[in-house]
């Protein structure tokens, strides 16, 4: 039987339709292997440093060779301007310059490495780099929101197979982000509790959608999952800002992230996926809005969303905003709990 579910964060309805999972749909991991680009032409590989744009940040190993590099994106979505250039167009349209930043984090010198393949220590260095770059980008008051994301596989939007992630700083708080922030704030005003903490409390008691709870983190298949095997990684301890996590919390996240992506790989193979960090916007003073996001530290909770790209978003989804998910999240969580992972 199909059913509609609405999550409490985005307040969007999702259709859970197990019957559609019986269609001739291929989950076979051998046939889902992502193509690997030629390392000899990959600009992110060792020895090709002159092929990338300006290096912003790097992490070196004991031998002096780089382990992680951060460069500006060769084809940036947003970049630096002398002013925002915000203005009305034809009286009622708004425009502004493409103010912001677009950076690429090259996660390893090894062309074929994936996060599950890396050591926990190396994953921790990647997390340290995320924190450092998020902090640096938020020093610019024009950067109102910074999104960290990873596209793995061409179906997820990756143009290069070398392991990398990206950050884009925007001069606005995107509507979907803002809607989630406002939902969290309204919930806190009514109940004086964080909505995410309440979700964690209920989900960990129920257990049916919990994939793992360890190292200070909970991995959930969300109740209103939009996609098969969609997951969210939450810190157990309330925290609104990813950049404030301690060394111990980074260690725990390195283990959890490596294990979670390892579970997906063990069950489904090298599938395409998107990885998105949802964290608090830049808490800069806003002209005319002295109380803007003033309760963030109490009502918001950072998290990492992992979205496998096993189904296509087509006309129905675009036209209605409703997603059809053929795999109930309870089943997805059970299968992932049972997946055998390395290390």
- Category of 319 on φ-ψ map: left (φ > 0), alpha (ψ -120 to 50) or beta: alpha
pTM over 0.75: yes
Specify the higher pLDDT residue, 42 or 30: 42
Confidence (pLDDT) at 41: 85
293: pLDDT confidence band, cut at 50, 70 and 90? confident
CATH 3.30.428.10 fits 13-21+43-338, yes or no: yes
Model pLDDT, residue 287: 79
The angle at the Cα of 119, spanning 113 to 122, to the nearest 5 degrees, equals: 85
Does residue 104 or residue 81 have the better pLDDT?
A: 104
pLDDT of residue 14: 58
Question: Is the model's pLDDT at 191 over the cut of 70?
Answer: yes
Domain positions in the chain:
13-21+43-338
Position with higher pLDDT, 8 vs 19: 8
Is pLDDT above 70 for 63? yes
Q: Which residue has the higher pLDDT, 23 or 235?
A: 235
> What are the residue numbers of the active site?
164
The gap between the terminal CA atoms of the chain, to the nearest Å, is 38
Model pLDDT for residues 262-276, shown as the tens digit of each residue: 999 999 999 999 999
164, pLDDT greater than 90: yes
Quote the mean pLDDT of the chain. Answer: 88
- Yes or no: say if 127 and 254 are a contact pair by the CB < 8 Å rule: yes
How far is 68 from 133, CA to CA, in rounded Å? 12
CA distances from 281 to 69, 225, 263, 304 (A): 25, 24, 30, 15
The predicted-structure confidence for 229-254, as pLDDT tens digits, reads as follows 999 999 999 999 999 999 999 999 99
Model confidence band, residue 8 (pLDDT cutoffs 50, 70, 90): low
Question: Mean pLDDT throughout 202-225?
Answer: 97
> Which band of pLDDT confidence, cut at 50, 70 and 90, is reported for residue 204?
very high
Q: Could you read off the pLDDT of 40-59 as tens digits, one per residue?
A: 889 999 999 999 999 999 99
């Amino acid at each position: 039987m199909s059913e509609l579910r609405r999550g409490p964060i985005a307040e969007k309805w999702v259709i859970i339709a197990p019957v559609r999972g019986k269609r001739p749909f291929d989950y076979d991991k051998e046939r889902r292997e992502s193509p690997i680009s030629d390392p000899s032409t990959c600009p992110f590989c060792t020895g090709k440093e002159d092929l990338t744009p300006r290096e912003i940040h790097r992490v070196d190993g004991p031998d002096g060779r780089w382990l992680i590099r951060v460069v500006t994106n060769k084809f940036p979505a947003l970049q630096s301007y002398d002013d925002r250039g915000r203005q009305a167009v034809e009286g009622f349209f708004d425009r502004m310059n493409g103010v912001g930043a677009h950076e690429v984090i090259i996660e390893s010198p090894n062309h074929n490495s994936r996060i599950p393949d890396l050591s926990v220590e190396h994953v921790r260095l990647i997390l340290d780099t995320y924190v450092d770059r998020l902090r640096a980008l938020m020093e610019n008051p024009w950067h109102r929101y910074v999104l960290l994301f990873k596209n793995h596989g061409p179906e997820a939007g990756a143009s290069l197979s070398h392991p990398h992630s990206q950050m884009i700083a925007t001069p606005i708080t995107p509507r979907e982000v803002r809607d989630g922030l406002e939902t969290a704030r309204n919930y806190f005003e009514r109940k004086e509790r964080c909505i995410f903490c309440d979700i964690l409390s209920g989900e960990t008691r129920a257990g049916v959608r919990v994939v793992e709870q360890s190292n200070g983190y909970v991995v959930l298949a969300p109740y209103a999952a939009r996609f098969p095997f969609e997951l969210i990684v939450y810190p157990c301890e309330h925290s609104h800002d990813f950049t404030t996590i301690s060394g111990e919390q980074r260690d725990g996240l390195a283990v959890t992230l490596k294990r979670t992506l390892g579970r997906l790989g063990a069950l489904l193979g090298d599938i395409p996926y998107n990885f998105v960090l949802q964290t608090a916007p830049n808490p800069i003073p806003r002209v005319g809005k002295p109380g803007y996001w003033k309760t963030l530290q109490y009502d918001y909770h950072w998290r990492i969303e992992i979205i496998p790209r096993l189904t296509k978003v087509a006309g129905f989804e675009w036209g209605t905003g409703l997603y059809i998910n053929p795999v109930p999240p309870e089943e997805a969580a059970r299968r992932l709990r049972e997946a055998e992972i390395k290390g």
